[in-house]
Amino acid sequence: LRHLVLVLGDQLDLDAAAFDGFDPAQDAVWMAEVAEESTHVWSSQPRIALFLAAMRHFAQAVRSAGRPLHYRRLDDPDNRGTLAAELAAALQTLSPARVLMTAPGDWRVWQALKEVVAEAGLELELREDRHFFCTVREFAAHARGRRTLRLEFFYRELRRRHGVLMQGPGADAQPIGGQWNFDADNRAPFGPAGPGAVPPRSRFEPDDITREVLALVARRFADHPGALNHFAWPVTRAQALQALQQFIDQRLPHFGRTQDAMWPGEPWLYHSHLSAALNLKLLSAREVVQAAEAAFHAGHVGIESAEGFIRQILGWREYVRGIYWTQMPGYLQRNALQADQDLPAWYWSGRTDMACLREAITQTLALGYAHHIQRLMVTGLFALLLGVRPQQVHAWYLSVYVDAVEWVELPNTLGMSQYADGGLMASKPYVATGRYIERMGGGCAGCRYDPAQRVGERACPFTTLYWDFLERHQALLARNPRMSLQVKNLARLTAAERDAVRQRADAIRAGQVGVPA
Ligand code: FAD
Ligand code: SF4
């Protein structure tokens, strides 16, 4: 065998760089389903099912393309359970002259595979992941010499370099619409009547392959969180393209204005639900951005929707990848706020009497999905205010979402949502009281707590913990100009009021509040 091409579960792209120059007469592809990838964090059933179903469909596509494939199934009786052990065995049997792959998305997996290949006396050749607009080297060059990183500068650089939503010639090109960023137009809540008739999500009914996977996951991972009965994710490239088209036609026109809004009983809203298909590489980031840009030029969507959506992919998604690969492995251990609490057990069940959290967690476990503001300003905010160890919060996010892959999940969790990197990624901690959740449609009217109250039996735990957070981190926050107003407000509280906040916060931490009787 000349080349063995390794393909991981999140590299399902027939055009990936690893396949450049592939010669079916002398080369082969290797893929393996292993239990470790579902157990190193307590992966939810929908997440496991999506990876396995998409891998098995991709295996079919590889074979149909005439590429010889060595594929290990999770239920093969002698499956060794880890990527390292499976690869070591494959290298022994196949003895390839070279081993190559597209750069992986996960530091842990890269280390493990590199070691196995080295032990076999070979070198692991990594090829650039062309899925992304920006290489890790380019990101590193952008970051060099900057004390803090900010999305906005990086995003503008990429818009310019790739000519996305730009007008005018060459170096004089200007952003379409006269401004780089329509963020301020993306924050409206829904009115009292709610989000209106939200189009149904794209559904892809499980075929025979997916049904077999669902049965396998239900059997093998019965004690893992989450449910399988709503499973309808795209698992092939053709389905992913269909989901993209449906999003552009039906949801994108309404995406922009209410990007940050929530509504009880409406998990999908006007979001794209494309993150999993993107992260598995069933869709290319370029084609998604192009589709949104084309919809704008065709007059189908407004600039606030097109730019708001493109910023998430060309901006945030590329930015967090750069942070991950330039900061790992140390990033995983960061804990700038010295948070030391355990994640409440009800994050794994949704059994809490805080309506917004119950809704976000129940939905997450049932669907493997929650939109960004639920992740950032409900589940993430509560963990931040409570002071949960960032590594536990990270393990939860990596487990429960179908789109969770470490390169994108970790900077979002540790950096953006928990401020555990001390401000490398976000210029200030995203902290707010329950009033923010109320304003954005989080469902306070149906909750036993009152977001306006700081202390007392009906005080919203977010609100109590917000004031407690300011108090606990006052010295650090006072040095941040973007937090000074919030810290000044704290000074208005009397000593007795602060005491009452502290007592109630202690009761919340002790689990005496928030859990149904
Ligand atoms: P849309 O709202 O339709 O956005 C469009 C696309 O933009 C998404 O599909 C996604 O690819 C990209 N995007 C949007 N926001 C971000 C962001 N902050 N970082 C990177 N890409 C972004 N995203 C993941 O893909 N995997 C994760 O594991 C993940 N974990 C997160 C954990 C936390 C604590 C937070 C706050 C955010 C996390 N995100 C993660 C980012 C974001 O919440 C999801 O990408 C988004 O909710 C997915 O839903 P959607 O496809 O409907 O997104
Ligand atoms: Fe959430 Fe507080 Fe509103 Fe209840 S009152 S839904 S806990 S923000």
Task: State the complex-level ipTM.
Answer: 0.99
Q: Output the CA–CA distances (angstroms, integers) from residue 398 to 338, 341, 414, in the order listed.
A: 21, 19, 11
pTM: 0.97
Q: Is the model's pLDDT at 411 over the cut of 90?
A: yes
Q: How far is the CA of 426 from the centre of ligand 1 (A)?
A: 16
- Among 362, 447, 504, the mutation site with the greatest number of ligand 2 atoms within 8 A of its Cβ is 447
Which residue ranges have their beta carbon within 6 Å of ligand 2? 354-356, 434, 437-438, 442-444, 447, 449, 451, 460-462
Nearest CA owner, ligand 1 atom 30: 409
153 and 273 belong to one structural domain: yes
**360 inside domain:** yes
Looking at residues 177-184, what average pLDDT do you find?
91
Nearest C-alpha neighbor of 310 from the set 373, 252, 240: 252
Q: What is the pLDDT of residue 187?
A: 87
Domain extent for 27:
3-127
Q: How far is the CA of 516 from the centre of ligand 2 (A)?
A: 14
Q: What is the pLDDT of residue 186?
A: 83
**212 inside domain:** no
Looking at residues 487-495, what average pLDDT do you find?
94
Q: State pLDDT tens for residues 51-85.
A: 999 999 999 999 999 999 999 999 999 999 999 99
143 and 107 belong to one structural domain: no
Count the domains in the chain.
3
Which ligand approaches the C-alpha of residue 436 most closely? 2
* Residue 418: strand, helix, or coil: coil
Contact assessment for residue 441 and residue 261, using Cβ atoms and an 8 Å cutoff? yes
Domain boundary among 94, 127, 160: 127
269 and 162 belong to one structural domain: yes
144 and 288 belong to one structural domain: yes
- Percent of the chain surpassing pLDDT 90: 94
Q: Is the model's pLDDT at 40 over the cut of 80?
A: yes
* Residue 296: strand, helix, or coil: helix
- Among 43, 403, 419, the mutation site with the greatest number of ligand 1 atoms within 8 A of its Cβ is 403
- Percent of the chain surpassing pLDDT 70: 100
Domain boundary among 273, 300, 327: 327
Q: What is the pLDDT of residue 516?
A: 86
Q: Is the model's pLDDT at 16 over the cut of 80?
A: yes
292 and 417 belong to one structural domain: no
Q: Is the model's pLDDT at 145 over the cut of 90?
A: no
Which ligand approaches the C-alpha of residue 106 most closely? 1
104 and 201 belong to one structural domain: no
Looking at residues 280-305, what average pLDDT do you find?
97
For residue 206, give every residue at least 6 positions away whose Cβ sits within 8 Å of its Cβ, in sequence order, or none.
53, 214, 231, 232
Sheet holding 69-72, edge to edge: 69-72, 28-32, 3-6, 98-102, 124-127
Q: How far is the CA of 403 from the centre of ligand 1 (A)?
A: 8
**336 inside domain:** no
What is the CATH classification number for the domain harbouring 155?
1.25.40.80
What is the CATH classification number for the domain harbouring 55?
3.40.50.620
Q: How far is the CA of 23 from the centre of ligand 1 (A)?
A: 36
Which residue ranges have their beta carbon within 6 Å of ligand 1? 271-275, 278-279, 309, 312-313, 316-317, 320, 371-372, 375-376, 380, 397, 401, 403-404, 408-409, 412-413, 416-417
Nearest CA owner, ligand 2 atom 2: 460
Q: Is the model's pLDDT at 438 over the cut of 90?
A: yes
- Among 186, 412, 413, the mutation site with the greatest number of ligand 1 atoms within 8 A of its Cβ is 412
Q: What is the pLDDT of residue 315?
A: 97
DSSP 202: P
Looking at residues 335-341, what average pLDDT do you find?
98
Which ligand approaches the C-alpha of residue 460 most closely? 2
Q: How far is the CA of 437 from the centre of ligand 2 (A)?
A: 7
Q: What is the pLDDT of residue 3?
A: 97
Q: Is the model's pLDDT at 171 over the cut of 90?
A: no
Looking at residues 299-306, what average pLDDT do you find?
95
- Angle, vertex CA 282, rays to CA 281 and CA 285, nearest 5: 60
What is the CATH classification number for the domain harbouring 395?
1.10.579.10
pLDDT confidence bin for 416, thresholds 50/70/90: very high
**116 inside domain:** yes
Q: What is the pLDDT of residue 185?
A: 83
Looking at residues 366-376, what average pLDDT do you find?
97
pLDDT confidence bin for 170, thresholds 50/70/90: confident
Q: State pLDDT tens for residues 349-367.
A: 999 999 999 999 999 999 9
175 and 58 belong to one structural domain: no
Distance, CA of 62 to CA of 262 (rounded, Å): 40
pLDDT confidence bin for 183, thresholds 50/70/90: confident
Q: What is the pLDDT of residue 278?
A: 98
Domain boundary among 294, 327, 360: 327
- Farthest-apart Cα atoms in the chain, separation: 79
Q: State pLDDT tens for residues 76-95.
A: 999 999 999 999 999 999 99
Q: State pLDDT tens for residues 211-253.
A: 999 999 999 999 999 999 999 999 999 999 999 999 999 999 9
**102 inside domain:** yes
Q: What is the pLDDT of residue 258?
A: 92
79 and 26 belong to one structural domain: yes
**195 inside domain:** yes
Tell me the residue length of the chain: 517
Q: What is the pLDDT of residue 431?
A: 97
What is the identity of the amino acid at 202? Answer: S
Q: Is the model's pLDDT at 517 over the cut of 80?
A: no
**477 inside domain:** yes
Nearest CA owner, ligand 1 atom 34: 413
Q: How far is the CA of 179 from the centre of ligand 2 (A)?
A: 35
Handedness of CA 202, 208, 209, 214 (dihedral sign): positive
56 and 113 belong to one structural domain: yes
Looking at residues 147-163, what average pLDDT do you find?
92
317 and 377 belong to one structural domain: no
Q: Is the model's pLDDT at 147 over the cut of 80?
A: no
Beta strand extents in 73-225 (DSSP E only): 98-102, 124-127, 166-167, 174-175
Q: Is the model's pLDDT at 514 over the cut of 80?
A: yes
For all residues of the chain together, what is the average pLDDT? 96
Nearest CA owner, ligand 1 atom 37: 412
**370 inside domain:** yes
* Residue 102: strand, helix, or coil: strand
Burial of 149 per CB tally in 10 Å (0-12, 13-18, 19+): buried
Question: Looking up tokens 């306070």, which residue turns up?
Answer: 444
51 and 145 belong to one structural domain: no
Nearest CA owner, ligand 1 atom 43: 372
349 and 306 belong to one structural domain: no
Residue 461 has which token pair?
Answer: 């735990």
